[in-house]
Amino acid sequence: MKKSKISDHQFKKGVFVTPFNQIENLKLQHWNFDRLPAYIWLGFIIDNYGHTDGLERCFKIIKYLVKDLSADIDYPAFNKINKLSDDTLEKFYLYVCEVIDKEILYPLTLIYPYSLFPIFNKYFNQQKLHDNRLERINEILKETYDHQSYLSTDIRFIIIWSGVLADKLKFFKGLQIVDALQQYAYCSHEDEIMKQYRPTIRATEGPLGSMPGIKLFDTEFNEHFWKEISEMTDCKLFVLNMKDDDDQSRVQNYLDYLYKIMQYYEKFLRIFNPINKKAEVLLSILTYSYKRIKELVEHNLFNEISGRSIMRSVTENLIIMKYLVNEESNYMNIWEEYISYGFGQYKLIRLRYVDKESSPQNSHLPLDFMDVVLESETNEEFLNMDTRYFDKKNVREKAILVNEKELFDYYYDYDSQFEHGLWGAIRESVSLICDNPSHKYHHSIDIEDQQKLKSVWNDCELIMNKTIQFMNSVYPLPSELINYE
């Protein structure tokens, strides 16, 4: 299925609504979770006898079930079949054993025990001392878990064919599904025409469960299926290690280069502009980015969650620096306002503890030092505390104003996922995948810190280069420091 673009979504009240969710009454159903458990028995038959022979045997079985037995069955779901009367079920399974070797469905007795499915076990349980039932079930699960696999498509074809046989589905002549119903079973999956038939089958079967009067699966039965099979096998966890080793000599050379620049700007501020608020603000933000880059290198955080926090920080710093310079002509005291805004946030945090007349024990909050910082530069009684974004514009709006929206879209927004602990970031950084279809390929947690993320170094270097270039446009650097080789 072709994935939709942002432009395909409809923006409603702050939400990008997918094309499918714009369709009224359309509900998401999972092939592997919702429908596969009830129809996997057909997969055992088709897999054993092959595509054409397997489908023909399924045709005979279902025709006998729907037409000859006159059972009130429209779709051959295992749970529906086993709710038939005992006499009807005896006749049905006796016929099944005439069409296929009973060994084929024997593995399913492992998850459909005699206590719940006595007649099924009467005909198919071989009661062997040693068998490979579990391995066989996992083989079929692995093959059918993907709804687009050949075997899954064969099963989905049978579901449609059954609906037609039971007069539950009707199609207009001329539709490709009509041709597929006639030819699909007798074409090899390697035939060119199957590239058209397979997606047609899947597109037809997928929405059936949402149609009025059609119920393809039973939630309670599915829960039993997955519970039984998952408890019989162990997890097979594997680590997705995306770590790529950075050139440490190149990294250190770049850090040395940044240090020379910071030495220059430190003297520039201390000696030539000690009371210039613009220089103080811009160079202080630059130094904050520099120290974050140093943390990245010195603590080897390139592939860690903390590295993404650093990446987000230096990206936002560049955006706010460019925004302040861009808006300087619109505000008489933008540098003082920026300082007051930050101090107001700082003051608000401290006052929360003052008002409670208590402070957290052994906390990293240096409340006494926070007092010293505030008192050294401002009179708190004249310092308001603005809880909104600085200048009432969020980071995205500021990025757009300074022509850095790409930085926001490609870096800041992604790294913010990790900063805020949103689910995509959590899944990427702490989840280990279980390579076991019986466990629904679930995820476990990486408590041994084996999962390593892609390095942020190249992107951090890119942002710092842009930051240096911008600072050079405001406060020019000596020519020997402008270009880094």
* Phi/psi of residue 433, nearest 5 degrees: -85, 135
pLDDT for residue 207: 79
DSSP 8-state symbol, 84: S
pLDDT for residue 37: 92
Structure-model confidence comparison of residues 77 and 382, the more confident one:
77
pLDDT for residue 318: 97
Reported pTM: 0.71
* Encoded tokens for 258: 């940044």
C-alpha to C-alpha distance for 347 and 168, rounded to whole angstroms: 70
- Other Cβ atoms less than 10 A from the Cβ of 126: the count is 12
* Phi/psi of residue 281, nearest 5 degrees: -65, -50
Strand partners, 11: 16
Kindly indicate the confidence band of residue 91, based on its pLDDT and cuts at 50, 70 and 90. very high
pLDDT tens readout for residues 347-376: 776 677 766 666 667 777 776 667 676 666
Mean pLDDT of all residues in 167-181: 89
Kindly indicate the confidence band of residue 426, based on its pLDDT and cuts at 50, 70 and 90. confident
Instruction: Flag the least confident range among 130-134, 247-251, 394-398, 468-472.
Output: 130-134
pLDDT tens readout for residues 15-40: 666 665 665 555 556 788 888 999 99
pLDDT for residue 103: 92
Write down the domain spans for the chain.
31-233, 248-482
pLDDT tens readout for residues 93-126: 999 999 999 999 999 999 998 999 999 999 999 8
CA distances from 276 to 279, 329, 469 (A): 5, 16, 21
DSSP 8-state symbol, 172: -
Mean pLDDT of all residues in 207-213: 68
pLDDT tens readout for residues 295-312: 999 999 999 999 999 999
Structure-model confidence comparison of residues 224 and 264, the more confident one:
264
- Other Cβ atoms less than 10 A from the Cβ of 470: the count is 18
155 pLDDT exceeds 70?
yes
Instruction: Share the mean pLDDT of the chain.
Output: 86
pLDDT for residue 290: 97
444 pLDDT exceeds 60?
yes
pLDDT for residue 383: 57
pLDDT for residue 33: 80
143 pLDDT exceeds 60?
yes
CA distances from 236 to 37, 170, 443, 453 (A): 21, 44, 10, 21
pLDDT tens readout for residues 59-71: 999 999 988 887 7
pLDDT for residue 121: 94
Give the whole-number percent of the chain exceeding pLDDT 70: 84
pLDDT for residue 233: 80
281 pLDDT exceeds 90?
yes
pLDDT for residue 68: 87
378 pLDDT exceeds 80?
no
CA distances from 152 to 18, 102, 339 (A): 26, 22, 62
Kindly indicate the confidence band of residue 435, based on its pLDDT and cuts at 50, 70 and 90. confident
CA 150, 152, 153, 154 torsion: positive or negative? Answer: positive
C-alpha to C-alpha distance for 124 and 101, rounded to whole angstroms: 9
Mean pLDDT of all residues in 135-150: 94
Instruction: Flag the least confident range among 16-25, 172-181, 190-199, 325-334.
Output: 16-25
pLDDT tens readout for residues 236-248: 876 766 767 778 8
pLDDT for residue 321: 96
99, 61 in Cβ contact below 8 A? Answer: yes
